[in-house]
């Protein structure tokens, strides 16, 4: 029989490896970096693991309108899942703080196959200049129980808006599985966010379902025009992998449902609600109430027969597209 001390040491080592194996925010550099663990967030430390405090080791500077990259540390990605990036103007957020979504990732976030993936995103020009708080949230696909992960980082926004009027119109951050939030994320599926915002990236292998509960729409936000000329709309983005990607988080059409291709520029008519419509091979749009507004496909992709396909020779672990909803 192994000595008790040896068993205790083994148990401690196992627990340590399990904790360190989960995922946490690496870039931007989070608050209280040395205290940050990888456990799910609870009602007592929502938001931002606030019980750790808001010590700043690195102030992360981001220019409004610029592309940034979010990176993660850890290996236990739980099959991926769905993530959101959000910003609040509060320097030390509380449970009453309003976090506004700036980017959503449905499927494959923060990574798959035992490794994390860096994700690009653009800081909206609607974010006011000054100090703010950046948040990353994650709803794991294979966590075993409904959980919400959340880490935060201090950011200094430069070149941003002079007021918060446009920022306030961005969607509220989705909250589920925490405290009194009457909303539960799906298990064994990627979460389809009720209101992912204008900037959405979907994995080519996304398998999404909407959350359930009476409180799931409570954080949907206004979704009205945010000064960029784009309304909220009911359509959502399309992935740009080798297969067609569901185009609606709540009722995704089957692959290939938008097989009819229309050649037009700007606004045009369409017949199949939610279908991907091609304009040549370099533009696409989503059929929304009989109308479609075309926009360029993402770099390395092409639109053919109602599908966004990866061009031959285009390398990348995931092909994604950012959709402006109209």
Query: What was the pLDDT predicted at 283?
Result: 67
Helix (H) or strand (E) holding 302: strand 301-304
For the segment 301-322, the average pLDDT, to the nearest whole number, is: 57
pLDDT at 30 over 70: yes
pTM greater than 0.85 (yes/no)? no
pLDDT of residue 107: 96
Q: What integer is the mean pLDDT of 198-202?
A: 95
Better-scored residue on pLDDT, 231 or 33 = 33
pLDDT bucket at 231, cuts 50 / 70 / 90:
very low
Looking only at the bridges linking them, the beta strands covering 208-209 and 200-202 are unpaired
Task: Number of helices (H) and strands (E) in the chain: give both, helices first.
Answer: 1, 18
Task: Pull the structure tokens for residue 323.
Answer: 């959709």
- At residue 256, the pLDDT reads 38
pLDDT at 93 over 50: yes
Tell me the backbone φ, ψ of residue 73, rounded to 5 degrees.
Answer: -120, 140
Residue where the block lists tokens 């037009």: 264
pLDDT score recorded for residue 279: 76
**Other beta carbons less than 10 A from residue 2's beta carbon:** 9
pLDDT tens column, 94-151: 999 999 999 999 999 999 877 899 999 999 999 999 999 999 999 999 988 899 999 9
Structure tokens at 193: 């966010």
Segment 252-287, tens digit of pLDDT: 333 333 433 333 334 456 666 566 777 777 766 666
Alpha-carbon distance 124 to 63, whole Å?
9
* pLDDT value at residue 41: 95
Share of the chain above pLDDT 90, in %: 54
Alpha carbon 195 to chain centroid distance?
A: 11
Confidence category of residue 179, pLDDT binned at 50, 70, 90:
confident
Distance (Å, whole) CA 300 – CA 125: 26
Tell me which of 242 and 66 has the higher pLDDT.
66
Determine which helix (DSSP H) or strand (DSSP E) holds 105, and give its type and residue range: strand 100-106
Confidence tier at 48 by pLDDT (50, 70, 90):
very high
Q: Is the pLDDT of residue 289 over 90?
A: no
Please state, in angstroms and rounded to a whole number, the distance separating the CA atoms of residues 143 and 47.
20
Report all structural domains of the chain as residue ranges with CATH numbers, in order of start.
23-209 (2.70.50.70), 275-310 (no CATH)
**Most confident of the ranges 21-30, 276-285, 307-316, 317-326:** 21-30
pLDDT at 69: 98
What is the pLDDT at residue 270? Answer: 66
Given this model, what pLDDT does residue 290 score? 61
What pLDDT, on a 0 to 100 scale, did the predictor assign at position 276?
A: 73
Read off the DSSP letter of residue 48: T
Per-residue pLDDT band at 1 (split at 50, 70, 90): very low
Q: Which of 50-59, 94-103, 169-178, 230-239 has the lowest mean pLDDT?
A: 230-239
Q: How far apart are CA 181 and CA 94, in angstroms?
A: 15
Mean pLDDT rounded to a whole number for the chain = 76
Structure tokens at 149: 């992960």
């Amino acid at each position: 029989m192994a000595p008790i001390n040896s068993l205790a040491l083994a148990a401690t080592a196992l627990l340590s490896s399990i904790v360190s194996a989960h995922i946490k925010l690496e870039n931007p550099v989070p608050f209280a970096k040395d205290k940050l663990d990888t456990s799910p967030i609870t009602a007592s430390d929502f938001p931002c693991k606030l019980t750790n405090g808001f010590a700043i080791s690195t102030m992360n500077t981001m220019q409004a309108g610029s592309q940034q990259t979010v990176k993660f540390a850890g290996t236990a990605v739980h099959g991926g899942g769905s993530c959101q990036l959000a910003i609040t103007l509060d320097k030390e957020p509380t449970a009453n703080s309003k976090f506004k979504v700036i980017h959503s990732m449905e499927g494959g976030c923060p990574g798959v196959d035992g490794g994390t993936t860096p994700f690009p995103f653009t800081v909206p020009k609607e974010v006011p200049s000054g100090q703010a708080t950046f948040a990353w949230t994650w709803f794991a696909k294979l966590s075993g129980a409904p959980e919400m992960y959340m880490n935060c980082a201090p950011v200094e926004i430069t070149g941003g808006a002079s007021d918060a009027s446009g920022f306030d119109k961005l969607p509220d951050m989705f909250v589920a599985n925490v405290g009194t939030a009457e909303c539960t994320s799906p298990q064994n599926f990627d979460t389809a966010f009720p209101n992912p915002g204008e900037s959405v990236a979907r994995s080519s292998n996304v398998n999404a379902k909407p959350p359930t509960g009476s409180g799931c729409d409570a954080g949907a936000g206004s979704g009205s025009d945010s000064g960029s000329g784009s309304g909220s709309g009911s359509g959502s983005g399309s992935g740009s992998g080798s297969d067609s990607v569901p185009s609606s988080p709540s009722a995704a059409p089957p692959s290939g449902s938008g097989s009819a291709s229309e050649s037009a520029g700007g606004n045009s008519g369409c017949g199949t609600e939610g279908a991907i419509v091609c304009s040549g091979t370099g533009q696409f749009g989503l059929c929304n109430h009989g109308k479609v507004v075309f926009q360029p496909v993402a770099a390395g992709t092409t639109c053919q027969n109602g599908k966004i396909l990866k061009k031959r020779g285009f390398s990348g672990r995931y092909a994604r597209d950012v959709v402006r909803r109209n």
